[in-house]
Structure 1
Amino acid sequence: MHSALLRRIPCGFTRQSESAASLAAEGCRIASGKRANRLGWIDSIRGFTLMQMIVYHGLWDLVHLHGVEIAWFTGNGGFLWQQSICWTFILLSGFCWSYGSHPLRRGLTVFTAGAIVSLATVVAAPDQVILCGVLTLISSCMLIMIPLDRLMRRLPPALGILLCGALFLFTRTISSGRMGFGLITLPPKLYSGLLSAYLGFPPPAFYSTDYFPLLPWMFLFFMGYFFSRCLPRRSLPSDAFSGSAVLRFLGRNSLPVYLAHQPLLYAAFSLICD
């Protein structure tokens, strides 16, 4: 049952993807005296990846909604591009967690945005509904990190990266009913409802056009967290390698840009192609 399920639930970005570009909602900051300075190079990386996501979604619209044939996009090239985008955003969100302030408020804000996107797809586009999407994943990880931070700080960062990387790979295929590189078959009773889907065990009837459960993706977020601990804050000046002003602007305003770009793309292509 799970092989068919995987074909219906892409673990990546589609037109309706809840891009993690919005997930460092207040950006990555470091303390400098009494004021907090943004890390310009983080904003630039986020902005560059956000631009890729917009282009990817535009091509997705053309291929899947307007019948344009782009062979490489529907093959391995498009899949690898898609994965590089979502991996970058999730890692960046984990990296920025320890530099941001008010983690509870930020986590709840992003979780609310994810709930709004899910509700909007249920009402306006039920055939492309988003449940347990990236916004829900990252906001959940942001909230989980609040009680885990003190415990995880006891781990050496390098060990944390290796451990989380191994756990990510070990649980990578959990939504298909297996883990441990496909060697361990999980009991079907684990795949029993929406809560199980949120955790990483989607039942046969579950459907989402964009699906990022806690397992395995939270381990990628945790890897980003440990990467940030490998770099002392004093070695991260906010103006180093800050990139272009356009990229920094996109990175700083990733949430509103994300929320606006999909309806704008949809409307533009509907006018041009129909």
Structure 2
Amino acid sequence: MKKGANFKRIYTIDAMRCLAIVLMVIFHFIYDLKYFGYVSWDIPDGPGWRQFRQVILTLFFVCVGFSLAAVHGRQFRSKHFTKRFMQLLLASVAVTVSSLFMAPNNWIFFGVLHFIAAASLLCVPFARFPKLALIVGLIVIAIYNFGWVSSIWPFQPVRHLLPSYTNDYVGLFPWTGVVLLGIWLARQQFLQADPLKSWGTPKWVAFASRHSLIIYLVHQPILFALFGAASLLH
């Protein structure tokens, strides 16, 4: 973490977040290959691709939980939280608005950034209570896997107003549970020992980790523009 935060910077988390970014770019690159007709693979919902996306989301959301614990684990830092939340909120609005223009039939109403904003609100009260975060996180995941709540909750009452298929959706169940597990992991000794630090984490890994939100926002428009330009040249 940055100087002044409760935790020292954990390079293992930087590497985890960077890996998530790399996998995300690969995933969207392959998705764009399909979109522009270069391949016919069943991405993102086919066998293997769905699991690939789940790995990416798990890495990201564990890191979200870790960051909540690192920043707010001793006391709630309201200014920091408000600034970060507003960044996420504005970015989420930008994603929704752009999706309405680019994919009006499949526009994004609750994607990754929307989820992170909502999960931050829901999970930050647990930042000081890692054991409670572990218990509640496991309960949330169990409730979903037992089929007691739908992944579309709480959007059922307005489901008829939403697209039947959206290009990006992340349910509060079970993924809020993963964020809570990240809060618990942040307090575990094996992670605090930073096992990857001895490997000499490259500076670009830490850079990508620090600027993950910007990379998330710009990488797909860049890829889309490049594929679009390539298609016009053919």
Normalised to the residue count of structure 2, the TM-score between the two structures is: 0.78
- Where do residues 1-274 of structure 1 align in structure 2 (5 Å cutoff)? 28-29=1-2, 31=4, 37-70=8-41, 75-100=46-71, 102-146=80-124, 148-149=125-126, 153=129, 157=131, 160-172=133-145, 181-182=146-147, 184=148, 196-197=154-155, 203-207=159-163, 208-231=166-189, 235-236=193-194, 239-241=197-199, 243-274=201-232
Alpha carbons of structure 1 residues 116 and 166: separation in structure 2 relative to 1, 3 Å: same
* Separation (CA, whole Å) in 1 of partners of 2:5 and 2:172: 34
Question: Which structure is higher in helix share?
Answer: 2
Conserved? CA contact 2:115–2:172, under 8 Å: yes
Conserved? CA contact 1:44–1:251, under 8 Å: yes
* Separation (CA, whole Å) in 1 of partners of 2:194 and 2:26: 30
Conserved? CA contact 2:91–2:217, under 8 Å: no
Report the AA paired with residue 58 of structure 1. F
3-state DSSP of counterpart to 1:128: coil
3-state DSSP of counterpart to 2:168: coil
* Separation (CA, whole Å) in 1 of partners of 2:85 and 2:184: 19
Q: How many residues align?
A: 222
* Separation (CA, whole Å) in 2 of partners of 1:243 and 1:105: 28
* Separation (CA, whole Å) in 2 of partners of 1:251 and 1:94: 14
Alpha carbons of structure 1 residues 201 and 229: separation in structure 2 relative to 1, 3 Å: farther
Report the AA paired with residue 149 of structure 1. F
Identical counterparts, % of pairs: 23
Normalised to the residue count of structure 1, the TM-score between the two structures is: 0.68
Alpha carbons of structure 1 residues 70 and 141: separation in structure 2 relative to 1, 3 Å: closer
* Separation (CA, whole Å) in 1 of partners of 2:157 and 2:17: 30
Structure 2 segments unaligned to the other structure (5+ residues): 72-76
* Cα deviation 1:129-188 (Å, max 9, x = unaligned): 110111111112222334x237x62xx62x64254223213224xxxxxxxx23x588xx
* Cα deviation 1:204-235 (Å, max 9, x = unaligned): 45222211232332121111111112238964
3-state DSSP of counterpart to 2:187: helix
Q: Which structure is richer in relative contact order (CA contacts within 8 A, separation 6 or more)?
A: 1
Conserved? CA contact 2:111–2:170, under 8 Å: yes
Report the AA paired with residue 222 of structure 1. L
